[in-house]
């Protein structure tokens, strides 16, 4: 099967590759373009970014891809899947921390269950047993938490060797690395993780290479949209987007201005909703703390009652 890493679904897979690319090499071939005209407000350093992108792409073609191809050739598919599952399971520690920081307590409990099941039934994480039990893998990280807390995204950046990120993504990645147990194991194991990640991204990178007219812009837009989608848990302004795109169809005069104003409106409402969400989060956190305190009180009352009963029984017996 050509695994449907194909079609429009591949657009997403592509963006997933971009996230993976943020770990390692986000690059793929680009043609030489004139260094002028910066079109995107999200990318004020486009000229520098494009140079880094070309550098990453070269390193990827000459170093990472050949090693990754050799790894793929030498490693059976079941081992690749097992390695992916193992590191993915460890990443859940980071996911759980961020569930809590975003006040997603139910999801946090689910993810903790996922980590527990896969670490025990799943043979230390090599088998994704939780998937078969219907526990889906959630995707949370510190960059998303910062977004939920209302920290602005900042400009899009392409880092040497590390690939796509944003100003908000850099502290996010540092915290994610610190919160991932895989960061504290030896270098050879981390190398396996990197190789496996790069090997898994091949399908998506091929898709970009085959389909993108300007791979730099394709990866940038895919990355930014995917991050937005994850941070807002799918509640981003997709519908606003299309109405806006359609709106300027008839009056093509101020398309970008409109887009900017709509997106700033969307950003504003997102900011509002994120502020609201943070307030709600704090609200629900306090509420759950209250409930916990209450349940402790109830429990201690019950213990008191039981103790009283026991005492009275003893007293009666003594009598």
Residue 142 CA neighbour count, 13 Å, CB half = 19
Nearest approach in angstroms of CB 218 to other proteins is 6
Nearest approach in angstroms of CB 292 to other proteins is 35
Q: Which of 4, 63, 174, 307 binds other proteins (CB under 8 A)?
A: 4
Q: CB-wise, 139 or 179, nearer to other proteins?
A: 139
Residue 115 CA neighbour count, 13 Å, CB half = 18
Q: Tell whether residue 168 is a contact of other proteins (CB under 8 A).
A: no
Q: Tell whether residue 10 is a contact of other proteins (CB under 8 A).
A: yes
Nearest 5°: phi and psi at 156?
A: -75, 135
Q: Which of 230, 262, 270, 274 binds other proteins (CB under 8 A)?
A: 230
Q: Tell whether residue 192 is a contact of other proteins (CB under 8 A).
A: no
Q: Tell whether residue 256 is a contact of other proteins (CB under 8 A).
A: yes
Q: Alpha-carbon dihedral of residues 94, 100, 101, 104, nearest 10 degrees?
A: 110
Q: Tell whether residue 241 is a contact of other proteins (CB under 8 A).
A: yes
Cβ atoms of 201 and 20 within 8 Å: the answer is yes
Q: Tell whether residue 220 is a contact of other proteins (CB under 8 A).
A: yes
Interactions with other proteins, residue window 26-45 (CB under 8 A): 33-34, 36-37, 39-40
Q: Which of 213, 315, 318, 319 binds other proteins (CB under 8 A)?
A: 213
62/64 Cα distance (integer angstroms): 6
99/19 Cα distance (integer angstroms): 19
Q: Tell whether residue 171 is a contact of other proteins (CB under 8 A).
A: no
Q: Which two tokens stand for residue 10?
A: 């591949």
Q: Tell whether residue 77 is a contact of other proteins (CB under 8 A).
A: no
Nearest approach in angstroms of CB 63 to other proteins is 25
Nearest approach in angstroms of CB 165 to other proteins is 18
Nearest approach in angstroms of CB 255 to other proteins is 4
Q: Tell whether residue 204 is a contact of other proteins (CB under 8 A).
A: no
Q: Tell whether residue 229 is a contact of other proteins (CB under 8 A).
A: yes
User: Of 51-59, 101-109, 170-178, 208-216, which part binds other proteins (CB under 8 A)?
Assistant: 208-216
Q: CB-wise, 161 or 217, nearer to other proteins?
A: 217
Q: Which two tokens stand for residue 201?
A: 């991204």
Q: Alpha-carbon dihedral of residues 103, 106, 109, 111, nearest 10 degrees?
A: -90
Q: Tell whether residue 242 is a contact of other proteins (CB under 8 A).
A: yes
Nearest approach in angstroms of CB 43 to other proteins is 10
Q: Tell whether residue 318 is a contact of other proteins (CB under 8 A).
A: no
Cβ atoms of 49 and 158 within 8 Å: the answer is yes
Q: Tell whether residue 17 is a contact of other proteins (CB under 8 A).
A: no
Angle between helices 255-318 and 238-250 (to 10 degrees): 170
303/63 Cα distance (integer angstroms): 66
Q: Which residues bind other proteins (CB under 8 A)?
A: 1-4, 6-12, 14-15, 33-34, 36-37, 39-40, 207, 210-214, 217-218, 220-222, 225-226, 228-230, 234, 236, 238-239, 241-243, 245-249, 252-256
């Amino acid at each position: 099967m050509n695994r449907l890493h194909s079609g429009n679904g591949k657009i997403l897979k592509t963006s997933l590759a971009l996230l993976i690319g943020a770990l390692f090499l986000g690059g793929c071939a680009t043609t030489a373009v004139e260094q002028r005209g910066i079109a995107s407000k999200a990318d004020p350093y486009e000229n520098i970014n494009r140079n880094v992108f070309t550098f990453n792409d070269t390193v990827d073609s000459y170093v990472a891809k050949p090693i990754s191809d050799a790894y793929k050739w030498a490693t059976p598919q079941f081992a690749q899947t097992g390695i992916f599952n193992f590191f993915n399971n460890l990443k859940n520690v980071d996911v759980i921390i961020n569930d809590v920081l975003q006040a997603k307590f139910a999801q946090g409990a689910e993810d903790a269950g996922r980590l527990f099941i896969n670490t025990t039934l799943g043979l230390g994480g090599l088998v994704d047993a939780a998937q078969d039990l219907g526990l889906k893998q959630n995707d949370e990280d510190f960059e998303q938490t910062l977004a939920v807390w209302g920290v602005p995204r900042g400009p899009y950046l392409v880092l040497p060797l590390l690939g796509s990120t944003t100003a908000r993504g850099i502290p996010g990645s540092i915290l994610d690395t610190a919160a991932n147990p895989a960061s504290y194991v030896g270098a050879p194991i981390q190398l396996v993780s990197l190789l496996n990640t790069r090997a898994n991204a091949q399908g998506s990178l091929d898709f970009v290479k085959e389909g993108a007219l300007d791979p730099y812009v394709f990866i940038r837009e895919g990355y930014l949209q995917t991050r937005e989608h994850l941070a807002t848990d799918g509640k981003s302004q997709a519908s606003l987007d299309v109405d806006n795109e359609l709106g300027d169809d008839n009056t093509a005069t101020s398309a970008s201005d409109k887009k900017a104003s709509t997106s700033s409106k969307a950003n504003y409402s997102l900011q509002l909703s994120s502020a609201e969400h943070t307030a709600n989060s704090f609200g629900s956190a306090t509420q759950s703390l209250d409930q916990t305190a209450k349940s402790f009180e109830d429990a201690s009352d019950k213990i008191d009652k039981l103790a009283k009963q026991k005492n009275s029984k003893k007293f009666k017996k003594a009598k």
